[in-house]
Structure 1
């Protein structure tokens, strides 16, 4: 089974640490990162899709993707 997550967060080191953590848990980058600016907060936000192949499981909408 292949699972997909889209990580988001403010453009700071905490976002980079979340992506790094996912990569070290076997997730792979999927596509390019994205950025958006929230004018109300005057902040830049990032997003990065990641995918992972999980063997021996079938998809169920109740699974917690971050725990795979």
Structure 2
């Protein structure tokens, strides 16, 4: 068994909320507080959220984390 980690990012929009909601629906759990930063180059607020999930397989760098 392995615990997997992903860091989801997106502009501050409903797309970010949908991305996090989709991960939760797939069994991922929130990890830590959400993060925010202003992207000066593009003039937008960016959001990030860590998520974790325990799976029955051993970790491999070749794993497609979004498919787990």
Q: TM-score, normalized by length of structure 1? A: 0.95
SS in 2 for 1:20: helix
Structure 1 residues without counterparts, runs of 5 or longer: none
Partner of 2:7: 6
- Give per-residue Cα distances to partners, 1:23-58, cap 9 Å, x unaligned: 000000000000010122110000000000002x11
- Between Structure 1 and Structure 2, how many residues are aligned? 67
Alpha-carbon separation, structure 2, partners of 1:40 and 1:5: 25
Alignment of 1:1-68 (within 5 A): 1-55=2-56, 57-68=57-68
Structure whose residues are more often strand by fraction? 2
Structure 2 residues without counterparts, runs of 5 or longer: none
